[in-house]
Structure 1
Amino acid sequence: MSEQQELQAKTAIVHAMRPQERLASFYRSRKSKSMYLILANDAGDYLPIRISNHRAFSGFLSVPTFELFPATRLETDIRAYLATADWIPFTYQDFFVLSLVKYGHHRGSMIQIDDSYLTFSEETQAIAFYQVVRSHKQIVMNGLSVKMNQVLGKLYATDLIGSFTKDGLLLVYLTEGGCRLLDLSANKYMDQFIQDYATLNWRVLDVPSNTSED
């Protein structure tokens, strides 16, 4: 993906957006010619978009794909999509779980995608996540609650978290879009997170029971 193509894509997106919408993040895949972006609006919602010449490698990624060429067609297609798109609320639960992913490695805590039965690579079942805790050269795997799995599934499907392989484990990382939404929503959610952070049990992760999805 050339610099000119990236600029063409950004120009088309900027022209297609409405005044209440903005480009929160934009990055190019290192392994393919795909571009991934996150749009945000004044209501605190977000919208992931993918620009590529091929389908996504994982069926668990639920992001609309647009072709880059011609650039005028890209602008028209995205403008039409934005006119009817269902924007996704970025909730405190999303903020909380993304923060666990971001700061977990400092605590020896990581999130793993279960692929023991090729669930992920062959998409035979619903995606499932586990917590991997490293302590004194030991590794412990913990199951996660239904709610944690639901939030992680949403974040993965909308490209706020991604996956990579390390030491035979399929681990989760924070994408650029996830990082940007954490920053953009900090003024709304940071005070609540600091309260929850103070009592957080890093050995057994879960979504706080006293929080709603708003």
Structure 2
Amino acid sequence: MGQDIEKLLSAIRRYLDESDWYIFKYEDYFTLRALFILSRKRIYTYIDNTMEIFEQSKMGLVFYQIRRFYRKQCINPVSESLQKYLRRLFAPGLISGKQQESSDYSVYITRMGVTFLHEFGIRFDQRFRKDFSMVNIEYIEIPETEASMECAESLQNVFI
């Protein structure tokens, strides 16, 4: 019986070491890089906690942005596509929220998120520069890759 448990634990360990726990896509890279660039332009992303969603974890997270300039600030919603990828990055811990004095939760890129940016930079950065040059930084829409669109179409065909 002890050997069976050891074999099972060994098989589980091999599976965890060799399986993909997160498939990092171009859209994830775009979102992380955009967050980094926006913060340098004094546009910060926050988690909307007006309904105490963050503490209660009852619903999906809602994000918004604050642009600070001089003594003013402008609050803007984020696009649905950006919401989607911010939630996707939040779940595995590539981004996280830190509570501020005002009880708002500011979004930051975690160490693991920064590692992913560095690891995938060679693969995605050239396309990112091209795509990011065409976006409105005050309301970012995440560009869909052809592979993502094909995947969405094939899933749609399955459900029809």
Q: Same fold (TM over 0.5)?
A: yes
Following superposition, the deviation at residue 122 of structure 1 comes to 1.0
Following superposition, the deviation at residue 155 of structure 1 comes to 0.3
Amino acid in the other structure paired with 2:121: A
Which residue among 115, 118, 130 is the counterpart of 1:180?
Answer: 115
Q: State whether residues 107 and 202 of structure 1, in contact with CA within 8 Å, keep that contact through their aligned partners in structure 2.
A: no
Inter-partner Cα distance in structure 2 for 1:139 and 1:167:
17
Inter-partner Cα distance in structure 2 for 1:78 and 1:84:
10
Following superposition, the deviation at residue 92 of structure 1 comes to 0.8
Following superposition, the deviation at residue 193 of structure 1 comes to 0.7
Matched, 1:110 2:44: yes
Match of residue 3 from structure 2: none
Match of residue 198 from structure 1: 133
Percent of residue pairs bearing the same amino acid type:
25
TM-score of the pair, normalised by structure 1? 0.58
Matched, 1:157 2:157: no
Q: State whether residues 115 and 170 of structure 1, in contact with CA within 8 Å, keep that contact through their aligned partners in structure 2.
A: yes
Query: What pairs up with 1:88-103 in 2 under 5 angstroms?
Result: 88-103=22-37
Amino acid in the other structure paired with 1:197: F
Following superposition, the deviation at residue 83 of structure 1 comes to 6.9
Match of residue 21 from structure 2: 87
Q: State whether residues 82 and 141 of structure 2, in contact with CA within 8 Å, keep that contact through their aligned partners in structure 1.
A: yes
Q: Secondary structure at the match of 2:140?
A: coil
Consecutive unaligned residues in structure 1, runs of 5 or more:
1-71
Match of residue 64 from structure 2: 130
| RMSD, aligned CA | 2.4
Give deviations 1:93-146, integer Å, cap 9, x for gaps: 100100122222111111111100101111122111112211232222211222
Inter-partner Cα distance in structure 1 for 2:11 and 2:63:
35
Bigger-Rg structure (1/2) = 2
Change (3 A) 1:78 1:116: farther
Inter-partner Cα distance in structure 1 for 2:137 and 2:70:
15
Q: State whether residues 110 and 133 of structure 1, in contact with CA within 8 Å, keep that contact through their aligned partners in structure 2.
A: yes
Answer 1 or 2: higher relative contact order, Cα 8 Å, separation at least 6.
2
Inter-partner Cα distance in structure 2 for 1:156 and 1:91:
14
Inter-partner Cα distance in structure 1 for 2:69 and 2:137:
11
Inter-partner Cα distance in structure 1 for 2:71 and 2:137:
17
